[in-house]
């Protein structure tokens, strides 16, 4: 071993609700977990404002504050939390090898992957500037804040259709912006959108700009066929064009689906490799909620503890 190599019992990669919950359970089980947080310590919730749907916070809490609570709880039980990014892995033999920031080598008996997924964005400056001030990538998380108002949603897949229908139950009107003259969504979801009276679909349309100085006040769209621009007054702008799981560094060893989500065994966080477990949005493309991520983080730690015990690792 060189000076940069460290041998550890349980390594957790990622620091959102899944990673921190795995850390709490692993630390309480005396697995002496070491966590590398990734570049965004706390994960996607660091980019959110009010979180009102996580149990135990009756008056709501800011996303970054909630992640600080998770962090303190993980540290309280002895988790060694370090800032660093997993840049390379070698899972071809045991112990599992993980390189941090391109130089430090960690060899771990068990590895819990909790690197999450990132929402895909349109890439326009006004969208970034107003993110958290009316711009959102999660209707289920933030739709309630726009109850009784008009909102816009951009996207054409099943998720966009589902979120448009969800918003239609809360908002007076949902303006759905679709890039082509048809949706990618399944036929049944398309029919539901068309049959929902307060959803208006704008075909062949692109978002030109999200309007507003401090909060979203409207969205300007452009028709790709005619070039005509239309400004729609809305209070919320939802982007539903998909998510990108942060799985690239693991793909040579861990099985993923065609979108890059890590495949785990049914009702489990086990991957195709012994001693490697995946939890949170890295393997969940359906629910993508903090509470479900935390639940799978708990599962991953319990399964890692059981696996380590069965294999006789101390």
pLDDT tens for 38-55 read 988 888 888 777 888 999
Q: How much is the pLDDT for 121?
A: 94
Do 143 and 249 lie in one domain? The reply is no
Do 132 and 274 lie in one domain? The reply is no
Do 129 and 113 lie in one domain? The reply is no
Do 199 and 151 lie in one domain? The reply is yes
The whole-model pTM stands at 0.87
Q: How far is CA 177 from CA 127, 138, 157, 181, 208, in A?
A: 15, 16, 12, 11, 11
Residue 111's nearest CA partner among 293, 250, 285 is 250
Residues 6 or more apart whose Cβ sits within 8 Å of residue 295 = 21
Q: Which of 239, 266, 287 marks a domain boundary?
A: 239
Plot region of 10 (φ>0 → left; ψ -120 to 50 → alpha; else → beta):
beta
DSSP at 4: T
Structural domain span for residue 305: 5-118+243-311
Whether the per-residue pLDDT at 266 is higher than 80: the answer is yes
For residues 155 and 184, give the distance between their C-alpha atoms in angstroms, rounded to a whole number. Answer: 9
Do 231 and 134 lie in one domain? The reply is yes
How are the residues of the chain apportioned to helix, strand and coil, as percentages rounded to the nearest 5? 30, 30, 40
For residues 241 and 121, give the distance between their C-alpha atoms in angstroms, rounded to a whole number. Answer: 7
Task: Compute the average pLDDT of residues 249-253.
Answer: 97
Confidence of residue 313 (pLDDT cuts 50, 70, 90): confident
Do 179 and 148 lie in one domain? The reply is yes
Q: How much is the pLDDT for 49?
A: 76
Do 235 and 250 lie in one domain? The reply is no
- Residue 307, token pair as written in the block: 């696996």
**Number of domain units in the chain:** 2
Do 36 and 103 lie in one domain? The reply is yes
Active site residues: 138, 141-142
User: What CATH number corresponds to the domain at position 147?
Assistant: 3.50.50.60
- Per the DSSP assignment, residues forming a β-bridge with 150 are 173
């Amino acid at each position: 071993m060189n000076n940069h190599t460290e041998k550890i019992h349980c390594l957790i990669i990622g620091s959102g609700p899944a990673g921190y919950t795995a850390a709490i359970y692993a630390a309480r089980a005396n697995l002496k977990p070491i966590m590398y947080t990734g570049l965004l310590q706390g994960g996607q919730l660091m980019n959110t404002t009010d979180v009102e749907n996580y149990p135990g916070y009756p008056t709501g809490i800011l996303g970054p504050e909630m992640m600080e609570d998770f962090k303190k709880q993980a540290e309280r039980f002895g988790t060694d939390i370090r800032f660093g990014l997993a840049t390379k892995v070698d899972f071809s033999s045991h112990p599992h090898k993980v390189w941090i920031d391109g130089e430090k080598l960690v060899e771990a008996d068990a590895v819990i992957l909790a690197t999450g997924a990132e929402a895909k964005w349109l890439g326009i400056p006004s969208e970034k500037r107003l993110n958290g001030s009316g711009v959102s990538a999660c209707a289920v998380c933030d739709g309630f804040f726009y109850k009784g108002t008009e909102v816009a949603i951009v996207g054409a897949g099943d998720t966009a259709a589902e979120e448009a229908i969800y918003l239609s139950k809360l908002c007076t009107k949902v303006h759905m912006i679709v890039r082509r003259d048809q949706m990618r969504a399944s036929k049944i979801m398309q029919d539901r959108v068309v049959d929902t009276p307060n959803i208006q679909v704008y075909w062949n349309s692109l978002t030109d700009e999200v309007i507003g100085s401090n909060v979203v006040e409207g969205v300007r769209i452009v028709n790709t066929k005619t070039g005509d621009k239309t400004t729609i007054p809305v209070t919320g702008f939802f982007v539903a064009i998909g998510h990108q799981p942060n799985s690239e560094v693991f793909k040579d060893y861990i099985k993923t689906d065609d979108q890059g989500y890590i495949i785990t065994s049914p009702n489990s966080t086990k991957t195709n490799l012994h001693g490697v477990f995946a939890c949170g949005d890295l393997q969940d493309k359906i629910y993508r909620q903090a509470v479900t991520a935390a639940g799978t983080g708990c599962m991953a730690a319990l399964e890692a503890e059981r696996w380590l015990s069965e294999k006789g690792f101390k």
